[in-house]
Amino acid sequence: MTRSARRTRRMLQLTGAGAAAMLALSACSSSDGDSGGGSGASSSAGGTDKLSGTVNVFAAASLTESFTKLGKDFEKQHPGTKVVFNFGGSDSLAAGITSGAPADVFASASPKTMKVVTDSDAAAGTPATFVRNQLEIATLPGNPDKVASLKDLTGPDLKVVLCDKTVPCGAAAQKALTAAGLKLTPVSYEEDVKSALNKVVLKEADAAVVYKTDVKAAGDKVEGVEFPESAKAVNDYPITLLKDAPNAEVGKAFIELVQSAEGQKVLTEAGFTAP
């Protein structure tokens, strides 16, 4: 083979190797690009699904213990979130919401107070009943006054406290008294069920008509007395996402937890009954 022929053959070999190398590089680049695109989409989806930020929950005072627990569970399940509660009388909470208070979720102790919110077009859908609650008489530990019925609360020497008639526990108490054909003049009407119960805990009252859940939450600080008329005054508890919720996605997720088997277990252990 002449020198010229050998030079030509060598150049062809180099050209083939370069083309192969270029093809390999192109394939790697394409593969890397596809992988990066897939990873980016996955990351983006993960970012969309990841919940973060504060959710403001307005809830009836009787939900204090159970919702506080669920709030802690929620924050553990969704790192980066914070659940802030505003517990109180359902009527005052509803008034705050309709006046523009920033809230994501409203859990009321009665459909009547929830209706205030839905009538003002502040709810983002149809509220759903998630639990029910029943009344019970809370007496001093050991029940020193031997309270055994709703009628016993009408005794002249007994200091009895009721929730205000405008809040669900007060409306339910009035319904039970009507069913029993009784009239009762309490020493005070309290703004919510926790305030009524606290009067007994502090020994400022001999008895109060509150919810079973509140008696249970108080432990040995009070003693509970059941009465049959309470069956005629059971309260449904509705919950809803609010239309102007600052953090709607987290609000939805919290409602899902409340309605889940896990949430229902916490609520029934607190003394609530399933809807």
> Length of the chain, please?
275
What string of DSSP letters covers 15-73?
A: HHHHHHHHHHHHHHHHHHHHHHHHHHHHHHHHHHH---EEEEEEEEGGGHHHHHHHHHH
Mean pLDDT, 10 residues at a time, the chain of 275 residues: 44 41 37 33 40 97 98 97 97 97 97 97 97 98 97 95 96 96 96 97 98 97 97 97 97 98 98 95
Q: Which two tokens stand for residue 1?
A: 């083979």
Q: With the C-alpha atoms ordered 109, 56, 242, 51, is the resulting torsion angle positive or negative? A: negative
Residue 217 makes CB contacts below 8 A (sequence gap 6+) with 64, 65, 270, 271
Instruction: Give 225's strand partners.
Output: 137
Answer CATH for 135-232 from 3.40.190.10, 1.10.3720.10, 3.40.30.10, 3.10.20.30: 3.40.190.10
pLDDT at position 209: 98
Residue ranges per structural domain of the chain = 53-132+236-269, 135-232
Q: Same CATH topology for 53-132+236-269 and 135-232?
A: yes
Q: Which two tokens stand for residue 181?
A: 């054909």
Strand order in the sheet with 235-241: 81-88, 53-60, 105-107, 235-241, 128-133
Residue 170 to residue 149: CA distance in whole angstroms: 18
104, exposed or middle or buried, with CB in 10 Å at 0-12, 13-18, 19+?
A: buried
Helices and strands of the chain, counted as H and E runs:
9, 10
133, amino acid identity: N
How many other CB atoms sit within 10 Å of the CB of residue 122?
Answer: 21
Residue 230 makes CB contacts below 8 A (sequence gap 6+) with 134, 135, 136, 176
pLDDT at position 49: 58
**What are the CA-CA distances from residue 28 to residues 37, 42, 232 (Å)?**
14, 21, 74
CATH code assigned to 53-132+236-269: 3.40.190.10
Which of 182, 181, 162 is CA-nearest to residue 172?
162
Axis crossing angle, helix 111-119 with helix 168-180, rounded to the nearest 10: 130
pLDDT at position 120: 97
**pTM, 2 dp:** 0.80
Half-sphere exposure of residue 124: CA atoms within 13 angstroms, side-chain side: 17
What string of DSSP letters covers 181-192?
A: T-----SEEESS
**What are the CA-CA distances from residue 197 to residues 160, 185, 218, 231, 259 (Å)?**
10, 17, 8, 20, 27
The three-state secondary structure class of 83 is: strand
